[in-house]
Amino acid sequence: MGRRAGTPWGRAVALAALVGIAPSALASGAEAPGSWSADSPLPTPCSNLAAGVAANGHLYVMGGMDSTGAPSKTVLMLNTADTPHHPWTEVAHMPTARADLAVGGYSQCCLYALGGSDDEGKDLDTNEFYNWETERWGTDPPLPFSRTQFAMGVVDKNLYLVGGYNDYAGFTERGVNVFQASTGTWTETNELPTPRKKLAVGVLDGKLYAVGGETQSGLPLDTVEMYDPVTMQWTQRAPMPTARSSLGVATGNGQLYAVGGSNKDHLVLDTVEMYNPVTDTWATVTPMPTARAGLAVAHHPYLGLYAVGGHDALGQPLDVVEVLQTPVAWPSLPSPPPASPSSQSTTVIIGAAAGGGALLVSLAAAFYIKRRRQVYRQQVARLTMARATASPSPASV
């Protein structure tokens, strides 16, 4: 007798039947799964801002420019534990107002905000960190030189600053500087092969991916270069299908997502493309509902890919917040039992289910994401109660 659907193997087989079509669809170049929805808009329209997801699971948005072009020191937190629409809360301001900065997480309690430009358009060497447990800001040693329109990635608690523009020197950067937050020291490593500004960086499997950007003359690039901190070497990877600058990049579920930006005709884009580092290939993802450049992008492990703010084709800042339900990381399935006539019949059923699969994949993904959200909210609630009874946290790292 074949195994029943109620057994662990039977349930795994049913799940495999639901998701079996997804890998073949991606391999054939079809549009990757994922759908966009709106979340709570920003309290104030903003572009050229930065965002990061902290270890507490909340999304933080920092700095940027308002509709007058003035840089901001505002820090907003999106409470991702509340539903259906997550509220924004204004928390402690950055000491330094700035736009075109970079934000990255360092430890279980801190987000770093580096560089950017001030209200006169001058580059900054500012290095400030925010402790979300105490809601206080601290200052660390400044950047080796002022920098704006660069990108940052964090690997093994080291902050890597890549590319950008140096106003004092008047050129586009290829330099890569590394900040070791635990010791407060700066070092240099191998230069970016392609000097560029307005690029984005994502981290996958301990490696940095420098994506897109533009040349000194303003020509958008499709260039993708990967840096391995172990070998300290840069490697050329498959270019993006769409050349663009002022885009956002985030990584999740083992993939890299390149979102929005502007092209050589200075048109803002709704384009979303997904990179698979294993196959070194790109796939097209459902476009954003709102085309924009100068946006902030961050991936939440339970809620999806957040695209925050940015500006429209006229350069006007936006308050739009949209979320892409990214393809979920499906749980591993147990090894199948030895083949038998009944299990061969089961295989036929699996193939038939996979063949019909687009709708079933969507339903299975929706159920799985909903369950992950429920678990996440329970975890946040327990964490909040535990902190309420715990002793006060230190004021700095």
Q: Is the peptide bond before 8 cis (omega within 30 degrees of 0)?
A: no
Q: Is 169 exposed, middle or buried (0-12, 13-18, 19+ CB in 10 A)?
A: exposed
Nearest Cα to 105, choosing from 140, 129, 139?
129
Q: Distance between CA atoms of 92 and 81, rounded to whole angstroms?
A: 20
pLDDT at 327: 61
Vertex 157 angle, CA 155 and 159, to 5°: 70
Instruction: Please check whether residue 207 is in contact with residue 226, taking contact to mean a CB–CB distance below 8 angstroms.
Output: yes
Q: And the tokens for 307?
A: 């695209």
Which CATH number is 256's domain given? 2.120.10.80
Pairing of strands 88-91, 102-105: unpaired
The residue ranges of the chain whose pLDDT is under 70 are 1-33, 83-84, 327-397
Question: Nearest Cα to 173, choosing from 215, 122, 141?
Answer: 215
CB 322 within 8 A of CB 307: yes
Total length of the chain: 397
Tell me, what DSSP letter sits at residue 176? E
Pairing of strands 224-228, 102-105: unpaired
Q: What is the pLDDT of residue 24?
A: 32
Please give the Cα distance from 162 to 156 (Å, whole number): 16
Integer angstrom CA distances of residue 5 from 54, 65, 267, 349, 358: 40, 56, 52, 12, 21
Residue 63 has a pLDDT of 98
Q: For the chain, how many structural domains are there in total?
A: 1
Q: What is the pLDDT of residue 369?
A: 44
For the chain, the first-to-last Cα distance in angstroms comes to 61
Q: Where are the beta strands (DSSP E) in 123-204?
A: 127-131, 136-139, 151-155, 158-162, 165-166, 171-172, 176-180, 185-189, 200-204
pLDDT at 33: 58
The backbone torsions φ and ψ at residue 11, rounded to the nearest 5 degrees and listed phi first, read -65, -40
Q: How far is CA 267 from CA 178, 243, 257, 313, in A?
A: 33, 12, 20, 6
- pLDDT for 17 equals 32
**Residue 30 is assigned to a structural domain of this protein:** no
Q: With respect to residue 367, please indicate whether it lies within any of the assigned structural domains.
A: no
Q: What is the CA radius of gyration of the chain?
A: 22
Is residue 270, in this structure, part of any structural domain at all? yes
Confirm if 216 and 265 have CB atoms less than 8 A apart.
no
- Cα 140 off chain centre by: 25
* 334 domain residue, yes or no: no
Alpha-carbon gap, residue 333 to 343, rounded angstroms: 16
- Name the residue with tokens 């999304």: 59
Cα angle 154, 324, 32; round to 5? 95
Q: Is residue 368 in a domain?
A: no
Please count the other Cβ atoms lying within 10 Å of the Cβ belonging to residue 270.
Answer: 17
Residue 236 lies in a domain: yes
DSSP E strands in 16-86: the ranges are 36-38, 50-53, 59-62, 75-78
8: exposed, middle or buried (Cβ count in 10 Å: 0-12, 13-18, 19+): exposed
Task: Assess if residue 6 is contained within a domain.
Answer: no
Whether 240 is in a domain gets the answer: yes
Residue ranges making up the domain that contains 146: 36-324
